């Protein structure tokens, strides 16, 4: 076993997991507090990436683009909440799935109308475009390190916001008893809009962080959306801590599986079989994990009540 390679793959896994966490955190917040299944969360991720691409092109600076993208996606999220989703809170999950499915279609076409069918690209900021040698022989792209650090910072911010501030208190209260919070005279509508906007901004942040390492294109949100759902379901809906643990778990399993499964299978079976079976198994692994976890813990790893 090549230890350097293993460490590098684990870093890759953690980085993917943290990116997923940013997406899943918004999803699970909205889910836990408003009881809303939002399939269009992936569209906000896409919109964030498109904003990042546009703002980078305008300002010529990735950092400025971050500053502009976050409020922009927050506003888009808030508008979507006010115009469309607000009337879905009292509906059952099926209605929410359908309506937000409609939103996905709408956003995809809208983006195509505004930005055209061609993908966009976000150049890396100059100071992050190199690689660092973390350990002897372990060379790691500095932008990926930046993703890890920025995502961790976002996670801590979220923890602080939810656990230490007044708005966080309301959010936690809203998650456990919505009626009671309303009865205490809190403007619950406004609180919901803020929470949804916050979730949208997190999705947008994930989108903009992913933009320089992926293609900004239509439908990019749908692929990660499913992963984000897997994360929040494994973690336990509404639990930010659960989302964090599950996201890292999924990131590691996906990456390490992809990296080492072909070799592992190759040692037991012939190469041809390994070539065919390993990618399929690697693709299925996270769903398998989810099924196993739900079979034993139908409510996910952490329940919402524990925060």
Partner 1 sequence: MISIRYGFIAFVMIALAAVPTVAVAIDEPFYVSMFTRMLVMAIAACSLNLVLGYGGMVSFGHAAYLGLGAYVVGIGFYHASNDGMEWALNGWMHLALAIIIPGLVALLVGAISLRTRGVYFIMITLAFSQMLYYFFIGLERYGGDDGLSLWFLSDFGGVMDMNDDVHLYYLSYGLLLLILFMLYRLVNSRFGMVIKGAKSNERRLMAVGFPTYRYRLVAFGISGAICGVAGFLMANQSEFVSTAEMHWVHSGDLIVMVVLGGMGTLFGPVLGAVGFLMLEQYLPEMIRGGCEVIGGNDCGVAGEYWKIVFGPLLIMIVLFARGGIDGLLQGKVGRNG
Partner 2 sequence: MLKRTITLAAGAAMLATTAMAADPVKIGFVTTLSKGPAVLGRDMRDAAELAMEHIGGKMGGRNVQIIYKDDQINPGVGKKETDELVQKERVDFVTGYIWSHVLLASYKSVVGNGPIMVSANAGPSQIAGELCHEDFFSTSWQNDQTPEAMGEVLNQLGIKSIYVMAPNYAAGKNMVAGVERTYKGEILGKDFTKWPDQLDFSAELAKARAAKPGAVFVFYPGGAGVQFLKQYDQAGLKETIPLYTVFTVDATSLPVVKDLALGSLATQMWSPDLDNAANRKFVDGFKAKYGRFPSFYAAQSYDAIMLIKSGVDAVNGDTANKAGMRAAMKKADFGSVRGKFEFGNNNFPIQNFYLREAVKNDAGEHTLKTVRTVYTAHQDNYHSKCPMN
Residues near partner 2 (CB under 8 A): 2, 4-5, 8-9, 12-13, 15-16, 19, 108, 112, 117-121, 123-124, 129-131, 139, 141, 143-144, 210, 212-215, 217-220, 223-224, 255-256, 258-259, 262, 275, 278-280, 282-283
What residues numbered 201-240 form the site for partner 1, per CB under 8 A? 222, 226, 229-230, 233, 237
User: Which of these, 114, 103, 88, 101, lies nearest to 36 by C-alpha position?
Assistant: 88
Does residue 118 belong to the site contacting partner 1 (CB under 8 A)?
no
- Judged by DSSP in three states, 197 sits in helix
Shortest reach from residue 294's CB to partner 1, in Å: 5
Task: Measure Cα distances from 133 to 13, 17, 75, 141, 259 in Å.
Answer: 18, 22, 40, 9, 21
Q: Which stretch binds partner 1 (CB under 8 A): 45-53, 94-102, 129-137, 242-250?
A: 94-102
Tell me whether residue 19 or residue 304 sits nearer to partner 2 (CB atom). 19
**What's the rounded Cα separation, in Å, for the pair 151 and 20?**
10
Task: Provide, rounded to whole angstroms, the least separation between the CB of residue 298 and partner 1.
Answer: 4
Task: Please give the structure tokens belonging to residue 4.
Answer: 């350097």
Interface size with partner 1, residues (CB under 8 A): 46
Place of tokens 């115009």: 83
Distance separating alpha carbons of residues 240 and 306, to the nearest angstrom: 9
Of 255, 191, 261, 299, the residue nearest 17 (C-alpha):
255
Instruction: Select the residue interacting with partner 1 from 11, 82, 84, 256 (CB under 8 A).
Output: 84
CB of 170 to partner 1, least distance (A): 23
Distance in angstroms (rounded) separating the CA atoms of residues 265 and 81: 47
298 makes contact, choosing from partner 2, partner 1, none, with CB < 5 to 8 Å by partner type, with partner 1
Which residue among 300, 302, 304, 307 contacts partner 1 (CB under 8 A)? 300
| Cα distances (angstroms) measured from residue 301 to each of 25, 107, 294, 304 | 15, 33, 9, 10
Element spanning 73, H or E: helix 62-83
- Paired with 131 in beta bridges are 141
Of partner 1, partner 2, none, which one does residue 130 interact with (CB within 5 to 8 Å by kind)?
A: partner 2
Closest CA to 42 of 185, 228, 167, 205: 228
Question: Per rule CB under 8 A, is residue 287 in the interface with partner 1?
Answer: yes
Please list every residue from 233 through 272 that binds partner 1, using CB under 8 A.
233, 237
Cβ–Cβ < 8 Å for 225, 41:
yes
Distance CA 257, CA 267 (A): 15
Residue with Cβ nearer partner 2 (61 or 121): 121
Q: Which of residues 19-48 bind partner 1 (CB under 8 A)?
A: 31, 37
- Which range of residues in 10-18, 65-73, 81-89, 184-192 is near partner 1 by CB under 8 A? 81-89
Residue bearing tokens 């269009």: 40
Residues making contact with partner 1 (CB under 8 A): 31, 37, 84, 87-88, 91, 93-95, 97-99, 101-110, 112-113, 222, 226, 229-230, 233, 237, 276-277, 279-281, 283-284, 287-288, 290-291, 294-295, 298-300
């Amino acid at each position: 076993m090549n230890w350097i390679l293993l460490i590098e793959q684990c870093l890759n896994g953690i980085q993917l997991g943290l990116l997923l966490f940013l997406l899943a955190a918004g999803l699970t917040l909205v889910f836990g507090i408003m009881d809303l299944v939002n399939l269009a969360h992936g569209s906000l991720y896409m919109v964030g990436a498109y904003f990042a691409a546009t703002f980078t092109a305008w300002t010529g600076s990735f950092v400025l683009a971050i500053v502009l993208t976050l409020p922009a996606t927050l506003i888009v999220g808030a508008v979507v909440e006010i115009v469309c989703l607000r009337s879905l809170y009292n509906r059952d999950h099926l209605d929410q799935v359908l309506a937000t499915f409609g939103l996905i279609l709408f956003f995809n076409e809208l983006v195509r109308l505004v930005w055209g069918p061609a993908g966009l690209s976000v150049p890396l900021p100059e100071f992050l475009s190199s690689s660092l040698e973390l350990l002897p022989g372990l060379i790691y792209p500095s932008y990926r390190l930046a993703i890890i650090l920025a995502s961790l910072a976002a996670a801590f911010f979220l923890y602080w916001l939810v656990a230490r501030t007044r708005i966080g208190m309301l959010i936690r209260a809203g998650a456990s008893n919505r009626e009671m919070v309303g009865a205490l005279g809190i403007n619950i509508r406004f609180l919901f809009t803020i929470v949804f906007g916050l979730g949208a901004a997190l999705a947008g942040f994930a989108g903009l962080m992913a933009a320089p390492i992926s293609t900004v294109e239509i439908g990019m949100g749908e692929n990660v959306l499913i992963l984000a759902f897997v994360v929040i379901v494994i973690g336990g809906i509404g639990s930010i801590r659960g989302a964090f643990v599950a996201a890292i778990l999924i990131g590691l399993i996906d990456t390490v599986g992809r990296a080492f499964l072909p070799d592992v299978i190759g040692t037991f079976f012939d190469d041809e079989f390994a070539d065919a079976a390993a990618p399929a198994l690697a693709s299925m692994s996270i769903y398998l994990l989810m099924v196993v976890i739900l079979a034993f813990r139908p409510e996910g790893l952490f329940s919402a009540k524990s925060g």
